[in-house]
Structure 1
């Protein structure tokens, strides 16, 4: 059915508006996975992509990667980060087993931690 994402900034208690994100398809697993860029986008005021990353019928079973520019986002918010940053980019590799279902990949993030899950 589709793929979407949503990022919440747990340091400031709201959506991560403006965070840069890249979506890739991947071939293989682990460090040997080859990634092909599908699109780059910035999250809207609600911390979401403006539309589905894949709309109905275009999402295929397979493996994907979302890369979130965490350090860039927090720096743009005026957060003083150490060099090197604890988190620079957060890369989430995930699989789509059933393309007839919707896959929502939320990220909860601060400069020092993150968590994710399969949302609805």
Structure 2
């Protein structure tokens, strides 16, 4: 069985983003929150889904970068551009690993499917 992991990188600081709140939602049928967690000093979390919980379906990761930007980079609430970054994706092959990293700054972000 595969697993779902994530990693958050602060491109303004050039390193991992510690303390970013993340929520994982299932988007099948009725959306519901499956996991709430915070990134560690390496910008990572424990696996978000694995074992019997790692299934095909539609999911959304919500990265709460606004609070991090206000705290770490003193971005003013009035000038805050990014707050909550949603990333919707599908898991089609539960035998594979899915790694969904977020690289972000105050004005942009990128993501991709890793393994």
Fold similarity call, TM over 0.5: yes
Deviation, structure 1 residue 41: 0.5
Matched, 1:119 2:78: no
Unaligned runs of 5+ in 1: 29-33
Report the counterpart of residue 95 of structure 2 in structure 1: 100
User: What residue ranges of structure 2 are gaps of 5+ in the alignment?
Assistant: none
Q: Aligned partners of 1:107 and 1:117: how far apart in 2?
A: 8
Give TM-score scaled by structure 1 length: 0.89
| CA drift at 1:48 | 0.4
Is the Cα–Cα contact under 8 Å of residues 24 and 38 in structure 1 kept in the other structure?
yes
> Do the aligned residues in 2 keep the contact of 1:21 with 1:66 (CA within 8 Å)?
yes
Q: CA RMSD in A?
A: 1.4
Q: TM-score when scaled to structure 2? A: 0.92
Q: How many residues align?
A: 114
Q: Which residue of 2 aligns with 1:4?
A: 5
Structure-2 residue corresponding to 1:15: 16
